[in-house]
Amino acid sequence: MTSPMKIEFIDLKAQREHIGERMDKAILDAVNEGRYIHGPQVREFETKLADFCGAKHAIGCANGTDALGLCLMTLGLRPGDAVICPSFTFAATAEVVAWLGATPVFAEIDEATFNIDPKGLDAALETAAREGLKVKALITVDLFGQPADYEPIEAFCKANDLVLIADSAQGFGGQYRGRVAGSIGDLATTSFFPAKPLGCYGDGGAVLTPHDEYRDVIRSLHVHGKGTDKYDNARIGVNSRLDTLQAAILLEKIAVFGDEIAKRQIVAERYADGLAGVVRTPKVLDDCVSTWAQYVVRVPEDKRDAMIEALKAKSVPTAVYYPKPLHQQTAYKRFPVSGNGLPISERTSRQVIALPMHPYLEESVQDYIIDAVRVVATDLGIAD
């Protein structure tokens, strides 16, 4: 097969071909209306976002990291408090815990799903207790778009009186046994970073929650801790708003988001069929739907880098999410790791390769990618 013109890892331009015209009008309207901060599009989008997943409340903010930070500020996290979270994730998940002087306790993931392993949570609690820390919350991550295994996690949080925060930056809109990510957890967060499944044209984020009290505190915190009005300061807050312009963009994007998740599903199924027995393809739990933020396969660790190079030579872009788990990163090494270490997280970081994934990946291009992976895997002697 000949190489297609240029394969995009995530093709944001392709989406513009579908909704570009409406989008341009929405942007221009917002600019002409001139209500750049907290214009009507923000509330309208918050309502649409909450409705999309069946959450009670949604509050827009400046980015997905702030969304997590606002959740932890709401809980009043302090030094001596701990939050359990996975190590195999994007840094923001643990970063916000450290912002507040609290301690992230890193827990192990499940090899098959890449998500935090409910079976490892007791060990994380014991580790925290041994360090004299009081665990207040658990942050799950819906990694690569697949919701974490929430039933056992919710039972664990209930039994140990922990607040459950779902970092759904990648998995917002995915499904877990009849529930939609965004509506799961005491607090859920998402990010509208352009490359996320529901992305805007810059930075943006949101917190979702079923609890009225949390909603009230977050609405205050994200605008400088405002009380009854802007110049009444009830608490120490931050400045973290979702821009009107980004909300206008997101209103157009969320209108096609359900359809895009369905399209991503088709792409993922074609990868699974085409790559079965060639590389280890990702597994989704029964009765769950991934938003396929990333399509991540595993290859033997001694072949991973050669595979990336060979695919690059065939014009197939790939990425590694994540090359190092957080507990091995300079900034996070000092934080406790649950049990006897995290061998699965470490091994996974050496095995993963993310393939191009977006809703508008054409069949012919995908066939080319599948063929390239098969040829390279054969050349390198990889057989699963």
Ligand X SMILES: *Cc1c(COP(=O)(O)O)cnc(C)c1O
Binding site for ligand X (CB under 6 A): 63-65, 89-90, 92-93, 141, 167, 169-170, 191, 193, 203, 205
CA gap 66, 205 in Å, rounded: 7
In order of 3, 5, 6, 65, 308, the CA distances from 315 in angstroms are 7, 9, 7, 33, 10
CA gap 349, 364 in Å, rounded: 30
In order of 77, 193, 203, 221, the CA distances from 44 in angstroms are 31, 19, 18, 20
Instruction: List the structure tokens of 218.
Output: 């977050």
Instruction: List the structure tokens of 266.
Output: 């088709």
Minimum distance from residue 321 beta carbon to ligand X (Å)? 9
Read off φ and ψ for residue 141, nearest 5 degrees: -125, 130
Minimum CB distance to ligand X smaller for 89 or for 366: 89
> What sections of the chain are H helices per DSSP?
12-33, 40-53, 64-74, 92-99, 121-130, 150-159, 212-221, 244-275, 304-313, 343-351, 363-379
Minimum CB distance to ligand X smaller for 169 or for 369: 169
Minimum distance from residue 17 beta carbon to ligand X (Å)? 25
Residue of minimal Cβ distance to ligand X? 64
Beta bridge partners of 33: none
Minimum distance from residue 2 beta carbon to ligand X (Å)? 35
- Tell how strand 57-61 and strand 205-209 pair up: antiparallel
Read off φ and ψ for residue 124, nearest 5 degrees: -65, -40
| Number of residues assigned to the chain | 384
Minimum distance from residue 23 beta carbon to ligand X (Å)? 20
Secondary structure letter of residue 179 according to DSSP: E
Q: Give the 3-state secondary structure of residue 91.
A: coil
Minimum distance from residue 87 beta carbon to ligand X (Å)? 12
Minimum CB distance to ligand X smaller for 195 or for 375: 195
Minimum distance from residue 258 beta carbon to ligand X (Å)? 21
Helices 212-221 + 64-74 axis angle, to 10: 120
Provide CB contacts within 8 A for 58, sequence distance 6+: 46, 47, 49, 50, 182, 206, 207, 208
> What sections of 82-210 are H helices per DSSP?
92-99, 121-130, 150-159
Minimum CB distance to ligand X smaller for 250 or for 310: 250
Minimum CB distance to ligand X smaller for 193 or for 360: 193
Minimum distance from residue 88 beta carbon to ligand X (Å)? 10
Minimum distance from residue 168 beta carbon to ligand X (Å)? 8
Minimum CB distance to ligand X smaller for 67 or for 217: 67
Q: Give the 3-state secondary structure of residue 351.
A: helix
Minimum CB distance to ligand X smaller for 27 or for 91: 91
Minimum CB distance to ligand X smaller for 170 or for 348: 170
Minimum CB distance to ligand X smaller for 123 or for 141: 141
Minimum distance from residue 62 beta carbon to ligand X (Å)? 8
